[in-house]
Chains A and B, each alone.
Chain A
Amino acid sequence: MLTCAEFLAEFGDYVENAASPDVRAKLEEHLHECKSCQVIVDSTRKTIRIVTDSASFTLAADKVEPIVRDVMARIRTKKR
């Protein structure tokens, strides 16, 4: 049976549902017994979801064309 530390070192693929079947079985065996690791898995997945869905670093849609315009203007000036 894994310790919590071993579990936490190995569960990276598991939260992405990408762990190999035997790793997954090993992790789930621990998870089955350990409430705190369950919480960590659950909240890590939710963290990923929140980060993935956030628009924290998103360029506003109406800013795209001005950037395209400016970049192309700068390139054409340079080339001339």
Chain B
Amino acid sequence: MLRELANAGERGAILTVFDFMSDILQAWNEALPRDMKAAAVYGFVPNLFLCQRQLPRAVEAEECLINAVVVCGNEMSRSHKEAILRCVAEVQKNDYCRTLYGNALPAASVGDSALFIFAIKLARFAPWFSKGDTSALKEWGFNDESLLEAVATIALGHMLCTLADGLSPVSDPRLALACSAEFPLVPEPTDWVETQGPYLSFPAEPSEKSPSYIFFRQEYGFLPNLFLVQSVRPDLVEAEARALENLMLPEDHLSRIQKEQILVTLSAANLNTYCFTMGCQVLSVLGALPGESDEIIAGQYLGQLSPQDKTLLDEAVKLGAFVKGSRGRFDRERLRTVGFTEAQIVEAVAVAGLANFLNTLQAGVGVVPDFPPPRTFSPKDLYPSDEKSRPISDATRPEDPDAEIVTCVQSGEIDAFEELVRRHSRRVYGILAGVVGNMDDVQDLTQDVFLKAFEHIGAFQRRSKFSTWLTSIAINTGTQLLRDRKPSESLSESDEDEGFCPRQIQDWAENPERLVAASQRDELVRAAVLRLPEKYRFALLLRDIEQLSTEEAATVLSISIPAMKARLLRGRLMLRESLTPYFVRRARES
């Protein structure tokens, strides 16, 4: 049945995406509902699964987990579990899943609210989760089995949100908009309790004859603690083993190593020591663990990969729990451009979903690593330079990583300034080079900017980050130099030239980077950027070249966010115009 779908998928390539989706939607809904567990659960096949049609075994893996977690297991009612899934979607701000569980509402009892607090803490602040959170729920009558069920449901919710984030399914036409739901407010944890797990006792011995036991023995060489601790629910362990088997073992699309790398990278990003350790162990058995194990901090590790794999992990890590927004949204197009197929992209997202499922599950049951961890993560890793560990939230901005050093300098420790120069000289240089153009002056000018910053640091009030403040000084210094050179030109030149309209509409090459060597490309970009009118150039420089957030860039330029976005778009379109002749699709390629 699923194979038929895969074939239909190939035929569908010539149809437009939308026609194709609705065709399949209909075909699948009408012909197959009885064969799809998802259909049995939802009453129809949600787009979240339809858009994985290139990889039926991923859908099977997900169905196994949904079935075991939501349908089986009788400690909690189905409606309670759906309310938890809704709660996780709210925590993750995931519109698709919010709608998928739009009718699930939190019931009103106090015990329920304890359950939702538990869910929110685990879904949003997993590294801070501790035995105390579990004990709180036990006071409301939860035992090991119902706790496991709650944790697995939260983990599943996380997985579904990851899939929706990565695959961006269109919302399901059958679903009404989500009704509004109020969940308890859970404050951001400010401190962090180190506790020793596991939080569950495991009374049941796993049967050595069970398929899952055999699977772990064969594929991992041992029964990992994470699965051992769930032995009260052999059917759940079974489903997890099936999911791992379906997703991680076949090598028809991504290789096993690529997938394990996604798992390791995401576990590191999620600060999950257990899953990181397990992933490293698997990679080292596969002979793919580069260098000393304690050197596998994400950066160094990535450095040793092929550019294609690096892009894969670069994108996959955006699906992690604590990086949302801060590293941008998952970009399928970018993966396509470096040569990944549709099925490989779906697989990468599905593996990321499974990684988040396992990460959340582990954080909830608190098992200790099976091997000495190559590295131990803690909430402190989110703010390496900060005494207090605090999560990234959308409400409060992450604290300034330079804050501590700035305090030292402000209180007279001149030597502390050295580190600020080291951290920011590249950005200051880049800004100045983009503003003044002439490369000869730029190193001297960079020094001038730091001297100015040092002189005025007493007046720095921390209304913005230090780096934002420093960037403003760099922009002003560069602009001043331009004015001194050419006093006639002014920033407020002929403003809203509404008439700008793209002229070049030739198709670009699939991999435009391949058409021009890197050094030549840098020169082309440099010349094209320098030709842009100042205001568009500055917007582009801050956002695309120095990678400030839109908000930071608007602060530096003292303009509104909409104005910043408008300038940026104009700059990008103008740049596109002047780069087009070099990157259009060549006859041979098409």
Binding site for B on A (CB under 8 A): 5, 8, 11-13, 15-18, 21, 25, 32, 36, 39-40, 42-59, 63-65, 67-68, 70-72, 74-76, 78-79
Q: Provided the pairs A52-B544, A57-B433, A63-B443 are in contact, do residues A71 and B450 lie with their beta carbons within 8 angstroms?
A: yes
Contact of A74 among B171, B451, B525, B573 (CB under 8 A): B451
Q: How far is the CB of A56 from chain B (nearest CB, A)?
A: 4
Q: Which residue of chain B is the closest to A55 with respect to CB atoms?
A: B522
Q: How far is the CB of A11 from chain B (nearest CB, A)?
A: 8
- Across-interface contacts of B433 in A (CB, < 8 A): 56-57, 59
Contact of B505 among A39, A52, A53 (CB under 8 A): A39
Is B513 an interface residue, CB under 8 A from the partner? yes
- Contact, CB under 8 Å: A59 / B579: no
- Across-interface contacts of A43 in B (CB, < 8 A): 504, 507-508, 576, 580, 583
- Across-interface contacts of A36 in B (CB, < 8 A): 505
- Contact, CB under 8 Å: A70 / B544: no
Which label, helix, strand, loop or mixed, suits the secondary structure of the B interface?
A: helix
Bound-complex Cα distance A43 to B506 (A): 9
- Contact, CB under 8 Å: A59 / B575: no
In the assembled complex, 18 residue pairs joining A and B whose CB atoms fall closer than 8 Å, in A order, are: A12-B568, A16-B329, A36-B505, A39-B508, A42-B508, A49-B334, A50-B513, A50-B583, A51-B540, A55-B518, A56-B433, A59-B430, A63-B429, A64-B422, A64-B426, A71-B421, A71-B454, A75-B451
- Contact, CB under 8 Å: A68 / B512: no
Is B95 an interface residue, CB under 8 A from the partner? yes
Bound-complex Cα distance A58 to B430 (A): 6
Q: Which residue of chain A is the closest to B567 with respect to CB atoms?
A: A12
Q: Provided the pairs A32-B18, A40-B502, A52-B544 are in contact, do residues A47 and B421 lie with their beta carbons within 8 angstroms?
A: no
Is B328 an interface residue, CB under 8 A from the partner? yes
By size class, the interface of chain B is 35 or more
| Binary contact track B488-511/A, C-beta < 8 Å → 1, others 0 | 000000000000011011111000
- Contact, CB under 8 Å: B425 / A18: no
Give the number of A-B contacts (CB < 8 Å): 144
Is B547 an interface residue, CB under 8 A from the partner? yes
Bound-complex Cα distance A63 to B442 (A): 12
| Those 9 A-B pairs whose CB atoms lie nearest each other, nearest first | A56-B526, A59-B429, A12-B569, A57-B433, A47-B576, A43-B508, A57-B430, A54-B525, A17-B329
- Contact, CB under 8 Å: A40 / B575: no
- Across-interface contacts of B421 in A (CB, < 8 A): 67-68, 71-72
Binding site for A on B (CB under 8 A): 16-18, 95, 168, 170-171, 328-331, 333-334, 337, 414-415, 417-418, 421-422, 425-426, 429-431, 433-434, 443, 446-447, 450-451, 454, 501-502, 504-508, 512-513, 518, 521-523, 525-526, 529, 540-541, 544-545, 547, 565-566, 568-569, 572-573, 575-576, 579-580, 583
Bound-complex Cα distance A65 to B583 (A): 37
Q: Which residue of chain A is the closest to B565 with respect to CB atoms?
A: A12
Bound-complex Cα distance A75 to B430 (A): 22
Bound-complex Cα distance A25 to B289 (A): 43
- Contact, CB under 8 Å: A51 / B545: yes
- Contact, CB under 8 Å: A47 / B579: yes
Bound-complex Cα distance A52 to B545 (A): 5
Q: Which residue of chain A is the closest to B500 with respect to CB atoms?
A: A8
- Contact, CB under 8 Å: A56 / B522: yes
Q: How far is the CB of A12 from chain B (nearest CB, A)?
A: 4
Q: Provided the pairs A43-B580, A59-B430 are in contact, do residues A70 and B575 lie with their beta carbons within 8 angstroms?
A: no
Q: Provided the pairs A39-B505, A54-B521 are in contact, do residues A70 and B573 lie with their beta carbons within 8 angstroms?
A: no
- Contact, CB under 8 Å: A70 / B447: yes
Q: How far is the CB of A13 from chain B (nearest CB, A)?
A: 7
Most buried by B among A13, A36, A47, A78: A47
- Across-interface contacts of A57 in B (CB, < 8 A): 429-431, 433-434, 526, 529, 541, 545
- Across-interface contacts of B168 in A (CB, < 8 A): 17
